[in-house]
Chain A
């Protein structure tokens, strides 16, 4: 369709994004984390499950950069592999929430009427349950494991995407170019998919970037209370929890996964805030 017309605003948004120093840092750190996740096999000196019961609780040293845990596993390698798990959980669970929540919100916003009432009351019910509580209940019901954590966290954040999407659709569907399309006799689903949804992307992108951070934190929270990914997979929250009982003697067991969580969340939040500013149409030029 009219891709050339859209390139302008996206390009300028990107320019604004990298001109903002904090969001640029967020972007660079995030890219670095993605590289770590992709090349974990090359970066980590050990596997994440290799135990050495004769070398437990080692302090950070030249071989084990972050020391070893209570099973003698290399914490650096586990943190590196943990990046892969956390980013995967973040992205996939947000995708689940985005597709379901965004879809519901778009339908509710565009068609209005009874459909809107039914969908949004359902979303209201979901939103009245704290999302972490919802995630805990889902994850208790489904059992542990990577896939179930992603589903649990994803479902837990459906409402926010539904609301954002519905609000955007509502504001766009009254604009003149939509009316024009309707006047031309364009089919409803074509209008929704081709004309409305592409124009709602800005707030959704912001929401998703911040949402990935929330999802990673939620997964770490589930891991911390023992509902997360099954051992021996190195999930940061679970590593933090495992280190908790030794925190007064061997704080390195908790510090490094904690720092990893912090850096990831911080970079996503910086990027998300930057995107919010960059994609705000009022900020143009």
Chain B
């Protein structure tokens, strides 16, 4: 009796095993890309988040393209010239067709930018634009409110993807689910929290995509994403976690790609709140921490300890700032001078990001050595953003990605006194000289003058210490060994048009 059962069980299992054998595909022409989060909307004006940009970048194109080595090259605009301090003129490429068959005209660009100006998500990207003037079907001018040096890099931001007026009007409320661009891939379908499917645009005006289809698979768990790359379910996995780096690089069936990105992580102080309104307290905490050890323990050799507010590949980064090297005696002295010889109790906020929680735990332990008792609070993301914008916090951990690779994007919103709160300055830092320098950097066209202004601003920020510079990030992706032509973009929205499989 029992024996029969076992036989039956084994045969059933055998059936399952044979039944589950995947049929080997004849010719591989679908690229499967795994990423950690789902897109929010494929309407570039309805969001500003990385997963959406990663998909949008395949569907849409911008007037100007910022290449993987951060050079500005023609995109939908073949050429441009500066007319005066406030105005740039752009010539559009001819014969470019949207996925719905419409031809790209200057009126589409005007429509797009006018629409973008009304968006609540991308004000910091388009806000400086005053107006767009259509000169002819393929010629237009863009005017800014004041001289705006980083305009061209802003036009290369994925949020400035050019939309088709008819498609947006026809799409109405659901445009974000039916995106129409000029890019090398067309949108096919989207299963929320599962996958987004694209297919090759055979009418593409440039070099056509090499693979026929692309599927973005949403795999939120970092470990699972690596496992799926190992088993071949994914051809490319974005954002390999630090603890899996050696696993991927040591696997002969896989390739590991690494490259510095444009993100920075920092610990901020609420400088309007005691005791952090005293610069000596902020410096003391900087001296009490060994950020190199923190970064090594948390990021396991991925990325690098931050030396300033900007990553090294951002235009305007000051690479000569002197680090606050760990010095407990100095830290204690500064605390005593500030009137806290026995330290104090405070809170450190972070969101549910494991690396940041880990940083918080080490900081907590290291600050205990100078008598500062830190309570860690892990706050839910939307509450985190709202409450830090409202200034309810003491210390907090956040990140910033300087998408345009220009210092204006990476400093103005974070340190200018006019940007306090929601706009990005969550330390509520205010320094008249820094304001002045950031204004100079924004409105001066001469690159050397900008560079000098930004360097001085960063020196002041370093000394005023509203931040503890923490970590500059690295993009780490893994691919199957047979994937060729994949290059990471420092801003994270990698192009897939040139990716293919070798035989």
For B297, give its contact among A50, A56, A226, A242 (CB under 8 Å): A56
Binary contact track B342-377/A, C-beta < 8 Å → 1, others 0: 000000000010100110111011000000000111
For B365, give its contact among A49, A56, A144, A247 (CB under 8 Å): A49
Contact B243 A231 (CB under 8 A): no
Contact B377 A53 (CB under 8 A): no
Tell me which residues across on chain A come within 8 A of B297, comparing CB atoms. 53, 56, 70-72
Q: Is B380 an interface position by the 8 A CB rule?
A: yes
For A226, give its contact among B247, B352, B360, B364 (CB under 8 Å): B352
Contact A71 B361 (CB under 8 A): yes
For A70, give its contact among B358, B360, B364, B376 (CB under 8 Å): B358
For residue A222, give the distance in angstroms from its CB to the closest CB of chain B: 12
For residue B29, give the distance in angstroms from its CB to the closest CB of chain A: 32
B297's nearest neighbour on chain A, judged by CB, is A53
Tell me which residues across on chain A come within 8 A of B293, comparing CB atoms. 53
For A232, give its contact among B241, B244, B361 (CB under 8 Å): B361
A51 to B247, CA, bound (A): 26
A248 to B293, CA, bound (A): 24
Instruction: Describe B's contact surface by its main secondary structure.
Output: helix
Contact A245 B377 (CB under 8 A): no
Tell me which residues across on chain B come within 8 A of A245, comparing CB atoms. 222-223, 241, 243, 354
14 sample A-B contacts, Cβ–Cβ < 8 Å, listed by A number: A49-B365, A51-B362, A53-B362, A70-B358, A71-B297, A71-B361, A71-B365, A143-B379, A226-B378, A230-B377, A231-B376, A232-B376, A245-B241, A249-B243
Interface size on A, residues (CB 8 A): 23
B352's nearest neighbour on chain A, judged by CB, is A226
For B361, give its contact among A143, A231, A247, A248 (CB under 8 Å): A231
Tell me which residues across on chain A come within 8 A of B294, comparing CB atoms. 53
A53 to B298, CA, bound (A): 10
For residue B170, give the distance in angstroms from its CB to the closest CB of chain A: 40
Contact A231 B360 (CB under 8 A): yes
A242 to B243, CA, bound (A): 12
Q: A53-B297, A245-B354 are in contact. Are A140 and B380 (CB under 8 A)?
A: yes
Q: Is B296 an interface position by the 8 A CB rule?
A: yes
Tell me which residues across on chain B come within 8 A of A51, comparing CB atoms. 361-362, 365
A71 to B380, CA, bound (A): 24
Binary contact track B211-254/A, C-beta < 8 Å → 1, others 0: 00000000000110000000000000000010110010000000
Contact B377 A143 (CB under 8 A): yes
A70 to B300, CA, bound (A): 10
B365's nearest neighbour on chain A, judged by CB, is A51
For residue B232, give the distance in angstroms from its CB to the closest CB of chain A: 17
Contact B364 A248 (CB under 8 A): no
Tell me which residues across on chain B come within 8 A of A140, comparing CB atoms. 380
Q: A230-B376, A230-B377, A231-B364 are in contact. Are A248 and B296 (CB under 8 A)?
A: no
Tell me which residues across on chain A come within 8 A of B247, comparing CB atoms. 248-249
A56's nearest neighbour on chain B, judged by CB, is B297
A53 to B357, CA, bound (A): 16
Tell me which residues across on chain B come within 8 A of A224, comparing CB atoms. none
A72's nearest neighbour on chain B, judged by CB, is B297
Contact B354 A230 (CB under 8 A): no
Contact A53 B296 (CB under 8 A): yes
For B243, give its contact among A50, A53, A230, A246 (CB under 8 Å): A246
A227 to B247, CA, bound (A): 30
Q: A53-B293, A248-B223 are in contact. Are A232 and B243 (CB under 8 A)?
A: no
